[in-house]
Amino acid sequence: MTSGPSTSRSVTFLFPFKLPGMQEPHAPGTFEVRSEVEQLDVMWDAHRTMSSILLRYPGRIEAFPVTAGDLEAAILNDRNSGIEPTLP
């Protein structure tokens, strides 16, 4: 396997959030998500993307692995958390 280019983007959570594998919700804020594409060593063109969100804690930063689907679901849930429910 060979590593390809890495990318970085920022995501902002307005409310505490929890990703699969987390024991407790994390405080809201703006976080960096780093993704790296790995070329797989097979006979055809294949790759996989590995992503991590950098979580800040007092005195340390942790790279927490996350899938694109789990991250997008958490972002969508965060955006919907601030919406007032409509009553019939």
Give the confidence band of 8 by pLDDT, cuts at 50, 70, 90.
very high
pTM, 2 dp: 0.76
- Mean pLDDT over residues 71-85, rounded? 84
- Which pLDDT band holds residue 40 (cuts at 50, 70, 90)? confident
Amino acid at 68: A
pLDDT at 4 over 70: no
DSSP per-residue string spanning the chain: -EEEEEEEEEEEESS-B--TT-SSPBPPEEEEEEEEEEE--SSS--EEEEEEEEEEETTEEEEEE--HHHHHHHHHHHHHHTSPPPP-
Question: Residue 56's pLDDT is what?
Answer: 87
Residue 85 reports pLDDT greater than 60: no
